[in-house]
Amino acid sequence: MEITVNNEKKQKYQNFNGTFRYCTFALAIALIYPNPSRRVKKIKFMVFCLIILSVSFVLLWFISYLYFCYIARDMFNFTRNMTVGIVIFLFFFKTFYLNYKSDGFGVVMDAISDDLVKANDMDEVYQEIFDTYIKKGLVAQMIWIFIPIVQTCIFPVHAGLTMFFNLINEVPQPRVMVLEMDILMVRSKQMESPWFEIVWFYTILGGFVLFPNFIGFDGSYCISVNHLCLKLRVLTEKLRRAFAETTTDEQLEKRVKEVIKEHQASLVYYNLLQDVFGGWMFVVFFITSLEITFNLYQLSLGGMDPKYLIFAFSTVVHNFVPCYFCTRLIEHGDDFCEALYMMPWEARHCQSVTRALAFMIARTQGPLFLTGMGMVTFNMELFVSVMQSSYSFFTLIRD
């Protein structure tokens, strides 16, 4: 038997799917992985409808209870359930929004994949830069695994532990629902078997439908912004080495032109990020402000409930992480502009290179802001503003 030996060298860097596997898997499970095929889109739509149908009773119970709380002006129970209602709204919004932006999102993922694969042919200096930023992207991926799982699990875990301690302490009514609400049509029997068990586990099923959507979409956003920071850092290094390693004006001009071309591609990528994620960023700004407010309201009336304390903390992180990565992008844009000016262009006396650098400096004068539909700029100042406005709204509804 003839044995074939594969001498092909294993690549160090893989595409987006191979590098950020958890994020890719979550996108696929959540039915929001970009695929241009109409047949695949139809299949995803049918599967989505089946999933929603499978948890339709939970949605019906939840919406009806919110309505009754609103009619009765029961602010305590209304805000308590709105903390979950906002998450459900985000799930539906992101599912339809990202399928609408599927083509642009696919281009973003392809751009990241192309850069990662090209890094296999770069030398050690560039690969060290890629290693640093890939690690940051993997950290962002793990953050967006942690946050949705915590927000999903805190309610059943809290209910389960509470029932366990109630049984130990022989509390007369030890049973606790996952979501504390009156169930439509079985209100008088929801604490009795088998209704309690059915509702309890059925509610968990509805909760676990949500978190792949957040892992995939929010994680890919941070990875995409971090990748633009990587592109700017690589361009800085390429320009520095162009001046350090070339001896003739022709060589320097050729390599500077390559940097200009890649910088223009980076600006196209930046505009694509704004187009794909801009609508989502505005909704996140508005929704997380409400979410933090409702959690503060619950903590002020119900005491330091660990369930809402953890939920509030994870919501703050949900707002902080996008603002942090956008701030890092602004800093990288400013650093790149400064690096252009600090290049030793005056020592080379090459007019074409000097003009090219002046053109690039002019293009980089504007900060690389990522905004929510042009109305809110994501940075650390926005994060502080959200915290302040949330507290102001909390004092308003409390009074």
pLDDT, tens digit, 9 for 90 and up, residues 110-144: 999 999 999 999 999 999 999 999 999 999 999 99
Confidence at 225, pLDDT banded by 50, 70, 90: very high
Question: What pLDDT, on the 0 to 100 scale, is given for residue 9?
Answer: 54
Distance CA 49, CA 43 (A): 10
pLDDT at 84: 84
Q: Residue 235 is encoded by which pair of tokens?
A: 């361009």
pTM for this prediction: 0.89
pLDDT score of 2: 38
Q: Taking the mean position of all CA atoms in its chain, how far away is CA 249?
A: 45
Identify the pLDDT of residue 171. Answer: 80
pLDDT for the residue numbered 109: 95
How far apart, in Å, are the Cα atoms of 357 and each of 125, 193, 361? 23, 75, 6
Question: What separation, in Å, do the N-terminal and C-terminal C-alpha atoms of the chain show?
Answer: 84
SS3 content of the chain, % helix, strand, coil (to 5): 80, 0, 20
Q: Among 14-18, 91-95, 175-179, 362-366, name the most confident range.
A: 14-18
Residue 327 to residue 319: CA distance in whole angstroms: 13
Lowest average pLDDT, out of 36-45, 145-154, 196-205, 300-309, goes to: 300-309
Is residue 394 over pLDDT 80? no
More confident of the two residues 1 and 317: 317
- Report whether pLDDT(4) > 50: no
Task: Please check the confidence at residue 399 and state whether its pLDDT lies above 50.
Answer: yes
The token pair that represents 107 in the structure block: 């281009």
Query: What local confidence, expressed as pLDDT, does residue 302 receive?
Result: 66
pLDDT of residue 397: 65
Mean pLDDT of the chain: 87
Give 372's strand partners. 376
Q: Where exactly are the structural domains of the chain?
A: 16-398
Evaluate whether 141 touches 298 at the Cβ level (below 8 Å): no
Q: Is the pLDDT score of 8 beyond 50?
A: no
pLDDT at res. 127: 95
Residues 19, 25: Cα–Cα separation, whole Å: 11
Given a cut of 70, is residue 177 above it in pLDDT?
A: yes
The percent of residues above 70 in pLDDT, for the chain, comes to: 96
Q: Scan for tokens 């919110």, then name that residue.
A: 66
Paired tokens of 94: 């992101």
**Model confidence over 90-114: pLDDT tens digits?**
889 988 998 889 999 999 999 999 9
Task: List beta partners, residue 376.
Answer: 372
Q: In this model, does residue 59 exceed pLDDT 70?
A: yes
Give the whole-angstrom CA distance, residue 359 versus residue 341. Answer: 11
Q: Residues 64-67: contacts with CB within 8 Å, 24+ apart?
A: 64/184, 65/181, 65/182, 65/183, 65/184
**What confidence tier does 26 reach under pLDDT thresholds 50, 70, 90?**
very high
Q: How many degrees, rounded to 5, is the angle at CA 198 between CA 193 and CA 203? A: 135
Residue whose pair of structure tokens reads 């909704």 in the numeric block:
283
Q: How far is CA 29 from CA 272, 306, 389, in A?
A: 24, 30, 35
29-45 in b/e form (b: 16+ CB < 10 A) is ebbbbbbeeeeeeeebe
User: Is the confidence at residue 263, as pLDDT, over 90?
Assistant: yes
> How far are the Cα atoms of 123, 164, 166, 181, 305 from residue 169, in angstroms, in the given order?
65, 9, 5, 24, 19
- pLDDT above 90 covers what percent of the chain? 35
